């Protein structure tokens, strides 16, 4: 059983090691922190922490560093989250409020979170598996060229340019727009995909080739919308912290690039009472990310679905500041997307 003082010793070991990347000794703890006890007493507390496998000595006769288990206990007892400064909060608000659409706000979010935390930032697109088609728009660009646009209730806009086999005019554009919106407007993406295949048969035979090309293009757009997707920024931060990884960072970089592993990990993480999920070191081993920590929080999108954003980095990270940043950005993102049924 770890005493309150031993927990406090663990806390300062984590904080000092995160700040300095140097193993922490009992003498420096006694000198730098107001425990009111001798270095010998601190050594006894550290011995107990080591018995509990919460800290370890990386070298003989060195100070101690936290283990994954130690980081977990530290995070579970973390009550003094470091609040963002007023300047940081203002920067978040200003930066996100000037977004022009959902794609822009998410791109800004992931860059901002990376800058605030100095980690790899991850933002999941609003869950598209539950999205519905809000509207289909068709725009003539040339006598035989169209832009097809699908807008979902999550605010996502997907557009394509397509060449059609026959000439198009305003009357045909209006008919195409009306028929496709009548057929798939309000449907979920899976239902919309099934409905699109039957739309060309509703046109006169002479117009069916053009309607078939439009339907096939819209089907591609619906399928693209059903795929889960992450936006990622700050991968260079991993290289800057390469010394915090005992092995190669290549598997981590590959996971960041491929996204599939991170999307699966996101889907399995469950939030604590603070609305934050923290997965540390060996807890990520089955994903090939055993030397990383992932902090994540949910945010609400326009359709009311909840998606995730977070950061990934080495286990030696500033958990207090990073959790505060992730929570704050998630709140601002929910507000920005919620206020802006306009965004998109």
What is the per-residue pLDDT for 128?
Answer: 63
What is the per-residue pLDDT for 215?
Answer: 95
**Contact (CB, 8 A) for 261 and 122:** no
What is the per-residue pLDDT for 227?
Answer: 64
**Contact (CB, 8 A) for 219 and 106:** no
Token readout for 174 is 């209006």
What is the per-residue pLDDT for 267?
Answer: 77
Q: Which residues contact 192 (CB under 8 A, 6 or more apart)?
A: 132, 133, 184, 222
What is the per-residue pLDDT for 199?
Answer: 94
Below-70 pLDDT ranges, the chain = 1, 60-61, 127-130, 225-227, 271, 273, 302-305, 338-344
CA distance 153 to 108: 21
CA distance 310 to 324: 11
**Structural domains for the chain:** 4-76 (1.10.10.10), 86-127+228-339 (3.30.450.40), 133-226 (3.30.390.60)
Q: How far is CA 67 from the centre of its chain?
A: 26
What is the per-residue pLDDT for 226?
Answer: 61
What is the per-residue pLDDT for 344?
Answer: 36
What is the per-residue pLDDT for 214?
Answer: 95
Q: What is the pTM of this model?
A: 0.74
Question: Residue 142: which H helix or E strand, with range?
Answer: strand 133-142
Neighbours of 332 (CB within 10 A): 20
């Amino acid at each position: 059983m770890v005493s309150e003082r031993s927990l406090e010793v663990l806390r300062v070991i984590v904080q000092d090691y995160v700040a300095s990347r140097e193993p922490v000794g009992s003498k420096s703890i006694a000198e730098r922190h107001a425990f009111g006890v001798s270095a010998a007493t601190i050594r006894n507390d550290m011995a107990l922490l080591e018995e509990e496998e919460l800290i370890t000595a990386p070298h003989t006769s060195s100070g101690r560093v936290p283990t994954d288990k130690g980081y977990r206990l530290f995070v579970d007892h973390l009550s003094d989250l470091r609040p963002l400064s007023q300047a940081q909060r203002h920067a978040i608000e200003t930066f996100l409020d000037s977004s022009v659409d959902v794609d822009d706000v998410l791109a800004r979010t992931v860059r901002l979170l990376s800058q605030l935390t100095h980690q790899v930032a991850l933002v999941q697109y609003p869950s598209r598996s539950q999205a519905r088609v809000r509207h289909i728009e068709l725009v003539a660009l040339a006598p035989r060229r169209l832009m097809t646009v699908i807008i979902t209730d999550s605010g996502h806009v997907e557009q394509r340019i397509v060449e059609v086999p026959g000439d198009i005019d305003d009357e045909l554009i209006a008919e195409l727009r009306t028929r496709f919106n009548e057929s798939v407007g309000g449907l979920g993406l899976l239902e919309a995909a099934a409905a699109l295949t039957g739309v060309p048969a509703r046109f006169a035979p002479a117009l069916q080739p053009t309607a078939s090309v439009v339907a096939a293009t819209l089907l591609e757009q619906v399928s693209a919308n059903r795929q889960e997707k992450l936006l990622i920024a700050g991968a260079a931060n991993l290289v800057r912290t390469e010394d915090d990884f005992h092995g190669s960072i290549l598997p981590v970089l590959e996971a960041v690039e491929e996204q599939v592993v991170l999307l699966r990990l996101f889907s399995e993480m469950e939030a604590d009472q603070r609305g934050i999920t923290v997965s540390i070191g060996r807890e990520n081993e089955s994903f090939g990310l055993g030397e990383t920590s992932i902090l994540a929080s949910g945010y609400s999108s326009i359709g009311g679905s909840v998606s995730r954003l977070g950061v990934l980095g080495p286990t030696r990270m500033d958990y207090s500041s990073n959790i505060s940043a992730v929570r704050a950005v998630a709140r601002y993102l929910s507000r920005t997307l919620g206020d802006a049924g306009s965004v998109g």
